[in-house]
Chains A and B, each alone.
Chain A
């Protein structure tokens, strides 16, 4: 009994020491980040936009909804011309009422969005970008979802 227990403790101890490799692995990963390719640049009314997914993973679940993170690069100087912009995945575009899910935020150089995603993605679903300028005019563009 005592021998078995000692053996088990020793194996667990070894395991916990081997586990310490994981931070080294994550450090290596963070120093050599791999970014997915940008999606094609497209016009959105008077602007142009280039979305890039944050990673190659499936959408994630957070507080009752599914999301996919993107960064969006607008044409130079265009961020200042935008009152609000939203990114979403679905059959059609739209600015959500209430909570600002999928709103583009960040700096004038690059924007980010947590785009809401339907629970089941279908053939009709696309990535939609809706931009509203300071006059209140809205423009839309969509991208085919990567296969």
Chain B
């Protein structure tokens, strides 16, 4: 490659990320923190810990619902959520004239450890990282577009960086980090860290690109789920006297667990109108799929299974939508991969900072005009 060509790619490398540098840094930092937000919650909030000193067996999700209904008798279950084996199960209860109450239940002892409302740290970090807290309109958020579009910047920086860096593979065979002079140390670190986190940049860039595609699909109202269509009105009973009886949420969960005993439940929601199902979602030992990739939909009127969600039945787009999160969040291998993702996130942040400092020194270093 000629020198001129290399110079073009070098300029492009800078132009890609510099104009959005502040945004990139925020997204990088918040994403890094978000990878361990569950663990931070565990450390900071004792009420969120699912301690099990007596080695009790985990109670099933229908029991969590019983416990929550006793704890907030005036409420009605909005949903049931389970994020990690070491965190409490959270049952959110709708209330008449108050914000929904989140009941923190130790799934082993059955103890109610907290009843709180409002935003959680986990949810906040996710919203800040994923869509910069921009509001959601019908099916889209400008913030979600902005953040996922950064994947293009990320992939672009990766490609141009490799083009600029002569024989970059030597960073693997002969890593070099000269620490004598700041300018040289920064350059060495930027190249070394960049090449060593190639795999990470690729994973985040590609999953981020998928989020961009997904954002456009949502926005256009394209449906790619294989979930069953709502009941027809013929399937919803009439009644002469009292309203017809629905099965309870507990019965529905039991039905789901009878059908798929190995399902690790991470989400339950009751029907929101007469055609709707009880939704019980979870995960069945498929490490690459997320915690909502498996489950059953139960007809609340006859208590029968109306449909299933299973990776085998999914089309390409739906499959991608369930594969992206574990790769992006680093949850595929549990705590170990989360920590690797967290450290890689820090390295990525250092790439941004060192890149910025190199740019600043080149343009505004000694004798090159006023500093920023």
**Top 4 A-B pairs ranked by shortest CB distance?**
A63-B221, A12-B19, A17-B22, A105-B272
Query: Which A-chain residue is minimally distant from B238 (CB atoms)?
Result: A136
Q: Does B50 contact A (CB under 8 A)?
A: no
Query: Which B-chain residue is minimally distant from A12 (CB atoms)?
Result: B19
20 CB < 8 A contacts A-B: A9-B14, A9-B359, A12-B18, A13-B18, A13-B19, A13-B372, A16-B19, A18-B22, A22-B132, A23-B26, A23-B128, A26-B135, A29-B135, A81-B243, A83-B236, A84-B273, A105-B272, A106-B272, A107-B76, A114-B138
> What is the interface size of chain A, counting residues whose CB is below 8 A from a CB of the partner?
42
Q: Does A30 contact B (CB under 8 A)?
A: yes
Cβ–Cβ < 8 Å partners of B121 in chain A: none
Q: Is the CB of B221 within 8 A of A19?
A: no
> What is the interface size of chain B, counting residues whose CB is below 8 A from a CB of the partner?
43
Q: Is the CB of A16 within 8 A of B76?
A: no
Q: Does B85 contact A (CB under 8 A)?
A: no
Q: Is the CB of A6 within 8 A of B364?
A: yes
From B26, B78, B143, B363, give the contact of A6 (CB < 8 A).
B363
Q: Mark B17-49, 1 if CB is under 8 A from A, else 0.
A: 011111100100000000000000000000000
Q: Is the CB of A109 within 8 A of B95?
A: yes
Q: Mark B210-239, 1 if CB is under 8 A from A, else 0.
A: 000000000011000000001001001011
Q: Is the CB of A109 within 8 A of B76?
A: yes
Q: Mark B72-101, 1 if CB is under 8 A from A, else 0.
A: 000010100000000000000011100000
Given contacts A9-B14, A62-B221, A107-B94, contact A20 B23 (CB under 8 A): yes
Please report which residues of chain A, range 51-96, place their CB below 8 angstroms from some CB of chain B when the two chains form the complex: 60-64, 67, 80-81, 83-84
Cβ–Cβ < 8 Å partners of A29 in chain B: 135
Please report which residues of chain B, range 268-286, place their CB below 8 angstroms from some CB of chain A when the two chains form the complex: 272-276
Cβ–Cβ < 8 Å partners of A23 in chain B: 26, 128, 132-134, 143
Cβ–Cβ < 8 Å partners of B238 in chain A: 83, 134-136
Cβ–Cβ < 8 Å partners of B23 in chain A: 16, 19-20
Cβ–Cβ < 8 Å partners of B359 in chain A: 9
Q: Does A124 contact B (CB under 8 A)?
A: no
Query: Which B-chain residue is minimally distant from A62 (CB atoms)?
Result: B138
Q: Is the CB of B78 within 8 A of A107?
A: yes
From A6, A67, A80, give the contact of B138 (CB < 8 A).
A67
From A9, A10, A20, give the contact of B22 (CB < 8 A).
A20
Given contacts A6-B364, A9-B18, A100-B275, contact A108 B76 (CB under 8 A): yes
Q: How distant is the Cα of A63 from the Cα of B140 in the complex, in angstroms?
A: 12
Q: Does B139 contact A (CB under 8 A)?
A: yes
Q: Is the CB of A103 within 8 A of B273?
A: yes
Q: Is the CB of A105 within 8 A of B133?
A: no
Cβ–Cβ < 8 Å partners of B26 in chain A: 20, 23
Smallest CB separation, B60 vs chain A (Å): 24
Q: How distant is the Cα of A47 from the Cα of B244 in the complex, in angstroms?
A: 18
From A10, A27, A100, A105, give the contact of B372 (CB < 8 A).
A10
From B96, B233, B272, give the contact of A84 (CB < 8 A).
B233
Q: How distant is the Cα of A15 from the Cα of B19 in the complex, in angstroms?
A: 8
Q: How distant is the Cα of A19 from the Cα of B281 in the complex, in angstroms?
A: 38
